[in-house]
Amino acid sequence: MSGGSGHDNHGLSSTDSLTPLGREAAERLLPLLAWAVEHMPELVAARERHEGR
């Protein structure tokens, strides 16, 4: 998702208001979230296979 500024912030507000620890956490989590969204069909299929055991 893009914000009005043209920067891709994954639908989240700016990290400017976060504490340094919160900013670091966000910087680490955003790539994981982007990866999960990109691979969602595979993740859902794997979960369904696991639940079908």
In percent, the amount of the chain with pLDDT more than 90 equals 66
CB 2 within 8 A of CB 8: yes
The pTM score is: 0.56
Amino acid symbol at 17: S
Query: SS3 sequence, the chain?
Result: CECCCCCECCCCCCHHHCCHHHHHHHHHHHHHHHHHHHCHHHHHHHHHHHHCC
pLDDT per residue as tens digits for the range 1-53 = 444 444 455 555 666 789 999 999 999 999 999 999 999 999 999 999 999 98
